[in-house]
């Protein structure tokens, strides 16, 4: 239960941050293109707790939906708020906005905007440094040929990395069934990479952690993106919400944690918005 509760704390921080972010997008306070990770928080939250337990500080390569990665692995909240507001006090001095957040203090390296390019870049960094590495990709990003080439190289060199596919089934608004007739787990296995299809349940992710950072592994994690591709509007699809599932399982403690982070995030946003 301690693991599940610790993951929920991280996810609650991320969820409440993204809910506030969506509100401020809709009110016009955030005007840069913004990609929230509402609904997908338990992936990075679980991986951060597992990494901490293993006493590993991995290199992190995320894409445009990266707020939860940054927050889960210890990034400062107020710096991210300022980044979204386009201020020079932001984590990347207002230049990255939402899509390319990076922070060397937590070993997180920002995305350059080319879909899936963090795949080969992350593989190259892992190959050069031999450091444990986590590469976060979407189910659309793995359709890029250079991502597949990078997987083949990672397999050949037996690199200590995890390919994490945040499989929300959408490329903007186009479902996988429209785009392709294959699954990334099968492609990874053809490269002799250990690969699994799992849900975004913290326990399912933990069960696979025995394979982490020994050789390449691919986790295709089915998750639910609650918001539209860009912006604060809700995606009008009737799907599950992992956050509500975990709240129900954990019980009263989860409600207390949720309220705590809701108040904290609201206070931080108010403080940063008042600052000129």
DSSP 52-114: HHTT---EEE--SS-HHHHHHTT--HHHHHHHHTT-TTSTTTTSSTTTT--BGGGTEE---SS
Residue 276 pLDDT more than 80?
Answer: no
What does the alpha-carbon distance between residue 181 and residue 276 come to, in Å, rounded to a whole number?
Answer: 51
Instruction: For residue 1, name the pLDDT band (cuts at 50, 70, 90).
Output: low
pLDDT in tens, 28-65: 999 999 999 999 999 999 999 999 999 999 999 999 99
Q: Of all helices (H) and strands (E), which one includes residue 42?
A: helix 41-53
Rg (CA), the chain: 18
Q: Which residue segments constitute the domains of the chain, with CATH numbers given?
A: 2-274 (3.40.50.970)
Q: What SS3 state is found at 167?
A: strand
pTM exceeds 0.95, yes or no: yes
Residue 113 pLDDT more than 90?
Answer: no
What does the alpha-carbon distance between residue 270 and residue 20 come to, in Å, rounded to a whole number?
Answer: 10
pLDDT averaged over every residue in the chain = 96
Residue 86 pLDDT more than 70?
Answer: yes
pLDDT, average across residues 83-87 = 96
Q: Of all helices (H) and strands (E), which one includes residue 126?
A: helix 118-129
State percent of the chain over pLDDT 90. Answer: 93
The pLDDT of residue 104 = 96
State percent of the chain over pLDDT 70. Answer: 99
pLDDT, average across residues 88-110 = 96
Closest to 243 (Cα-Cα) out of 223, 227, 229, 263: 223
What does the alpha-carbon distance between residue 37 and residue 156 come to, in Å, rounded to a whole number?
Answer: 32
What does the alpha-carbon distance between residue 255 and residue 79 come to, in Å, rounded to a whole number?
Answer: 27
**Which residues have CB under 8 Å from 265's CB, separation 6+?**
13, 16, 17, 19, 20, 77
**Which residues have CB under 8 Å from 37's CB, separation 6+?**
14, 18, 44, 65, 66, 67, 68, 69, 225
């Amino acid at each position: 239960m301690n693991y599940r509760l610790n993951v929920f704390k991280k996810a609650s921080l991320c969820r409440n941050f993204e809910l506030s972010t969506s509100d401020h997008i809709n009110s016009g306070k955030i005007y840069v293109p913004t990609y929230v990770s509402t609904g997908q928080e338990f992936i990075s939250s679980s991986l951060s707790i597992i990494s901490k337990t293993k006493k590993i500080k991995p290199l992190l390569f995320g894409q445009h939906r990266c707020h939860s990665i940054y927050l889960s692995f210890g990034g400062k909240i107020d710096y991210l708020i300022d980044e979204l507001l386009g201020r020079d006090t932001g984590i990347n001095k207002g230049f990255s906005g939402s899509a390319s957040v990076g922070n060397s203090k937590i070993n997180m390296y920002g995305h350059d905007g080319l879909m899936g390019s963090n795949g080969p870049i992350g593989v190259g960094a892992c190959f050069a440094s031999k450091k444990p590495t986590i590469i976060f990709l979407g189910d659309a990003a793995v359709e890029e040929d250079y991502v597949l080439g990078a997987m083949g190289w990672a397999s050949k060199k037996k690199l200590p990395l995890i390919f994490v596919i945040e499989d929300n089934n959408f490329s903007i608004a186009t479902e996988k069934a429209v785009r392709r007739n294959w699954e990334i787990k099968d492609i990874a296995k053809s490269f002799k990479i250990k690969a699994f299809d799992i849900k975004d349940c913290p326990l399912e992710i933990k069960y696979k952690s025995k394979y982490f950072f020994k050789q390449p592994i691919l986790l295709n994690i089915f998750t639910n993106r609650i918001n539209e591709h860009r912006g604060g509007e809700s995606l009008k699809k009737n799907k599950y919400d992992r956050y509500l599932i975990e709240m129900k399982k954990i019980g009263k403690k989860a409600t207390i944690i949720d309220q705590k982070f809701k108040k904290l995030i609201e206070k931080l946003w108010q403080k940063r918005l008042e600052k000129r």
